[in-house]
Amino acid sequence: MEYLEKEKLFAKADALRPGLGAELSRLPLHSASELKEIDDMLDEHRKGSELRAAAARDYQRQAEEYRRLTAQLDAKLAAAGLSALPPAATSAARHLAAVAGGLGLATCAEGAMLAAWVAADARRLEGERTKAKREAAASELCAAAEAASRQAEEVARALEGAAARQAEGIRALPRSQVERRQIEEKAASYVAKIQKTTRQLQDTGFREELAHEALTELAGKVAAAEAQLAAVREELKEYESIPPSEAGLASQIETLQRELDQVNQALGGAFVGHTGGSGLGGGGGGGHGHVLSRHARAGAVGFGQ
């Protein structure tokens, strides 16, 4: 394969310049990069030769066109009887005829040349305006192209980053698969342990009502019952002074009656002492004592009932 590439390269060199292939064959060309470099140099040489040949052909065409125009001018000068003029006048006449020819005129009359000159100047101005518009449009297109190029570079960088991340993800894929497999193995181990523990609990007589959820619910009910019991105990504290039996209640009533009688007697003595022993005062004191006694008995009986 390398031999065929060298032969093609030498043939291309001979096509550019005979004997160049033989000169290249004596060079120590071994690697593909060296052959590629020589091939690029031959392409550049071929392009340069083509440009020089095109320039030579264009120069030849322009020279022939100049000789043709000169012959036409000489013929026109001869036809106009101006060929016998001095060299300076002949040169001026040629120049004037060339200007008229450039304006597309067959005459050198002043009016015709002036009108043609104005028309040519208008065309030139229009061409300049058109050129300016095209240059402005080209500038806008260049700016848009540069912006698009920058965007393309940004997109290219983004694609490179995405490709790098994708490559990193591909490299990390085996590791993630291993981690996933480890997690699945751990999950399977946990499930097996749960099943084993469930069987052991069933073997030891485990009941559903002793499960954690059931015990938690039962603890809540116990706490609520304890709260209700505490409330009832607070209410019962109001009745702690009541004797537990009927005999005790009767004894308590008698004690209260005696205390009440003593109070009535004290109140009666106080009224007698302050009123000077009048019958009204004594009677009033006795009345008050009987009234308090009746109220005390009624209250004690009602309390006992």
Give the predicted TM-score (pTM) of the model. 0.27
Task: Specify the pLDDT at position 293.
Answer: 45
Chunked into runs of 10 residues, the chain (305 residues) has average pLDDT values of: 68 76 70 75 80 87 84 70 65 71 67 75 85 83 76 75 75 70 81 78 61 71 81 73 68 81 74 46 43 43 40
Task: Specify the pLDDT at position 132.
Answer: 87
pLDDT in tens, 204-222: 665 555 566 766 777 788 7
Average per-residue pLDDT for the chain? 71
Task: Specify the pLDDT at position 294.
Answer: 43
Task: Specify the pLDDT at position 121.
Answer: 79
pLDDT in tens, 187-207: 888 788 878 877 776 676 655
Residue 106, φ and ψ in degrees, nearest 5:
-100, 5
pLDDT in tens, 62-85: 888 888 877 777 776 666 666 666
